[in-house]
Amino acid sequence: MTHVSKFKIDTFTEKRIVESFMHALFAANITRGKVRVHALLTPTERIMLAKRLAIISMLDRDHSYYDIEKTLNVSGSTVRRLHARLLRGDFDPLCRIFNRNLSFLDYLELFLAAGMPSIAGPRHQKRLDALRTGRKPR
């Protein structure tokens, strides 16, 4: 289990720390992000986070608690706790990503469009709309 200090910090400082952490991890390309994650997190922490993501993904795909416990070798209480948070909507942004089977180029196109209308015409606008709703464009 990871050690967390018992001394709380003020919310402003916490927010700034989290923002700088996210920027440090995700401001570059995927390769650099992986290197940064490996440098910051221990193997145990990486496995813990990967298992949490797998549990959320499997719960979103309606796998049983038993299947999740046996496949990932996690306790039932962990699965129940994450399922309660999933039902509360805490993981909605993650589930939207899991439910899309888009390629890297599709994601890149979405990020570059940044919510703006297409300047390439109505066919490209239909493609962007399909990508934004999670459908695979034709």
Average pLDDT rounded to a whole number, residues 102-131:
71
Q: Are 32 and 39 in contact (CB under 8 A)?
A: no
Same domain, 83 and 106: no
Same domain, 92 and 107: no
Same domain, 96 and 108: no
Instruction: Tell me if 5 is assigned to some domain.
Output: no
The number of distinct structural domains making up the chain is 2
User: In this structure, what DSSP letter does residue 55 have?
Assistant: H
Range(s) of the domain holding residue 125: 101-138
The sign of the dihedral angle between the CA atoms of 125, 126, 127, 131 is: positive
Predicted local confidence at residue 110, as pLDDT: 65
pLDDT digits (tens, 9 = 90+) for 29-84: 667 777 777 888 888 888 888 888 888 888 887 889 999 898 888 899 999 999 99
Same domain, 65 and 113: no
Instruction: Tell me if 110 is assigned to some domain.
Output: yes
| pTM score | 0.59
Same domain, 94 and 111: no
Same domain, 134 and 84: no
Instruction: Tell me if 121 is assigned to some domain.
Output: yes
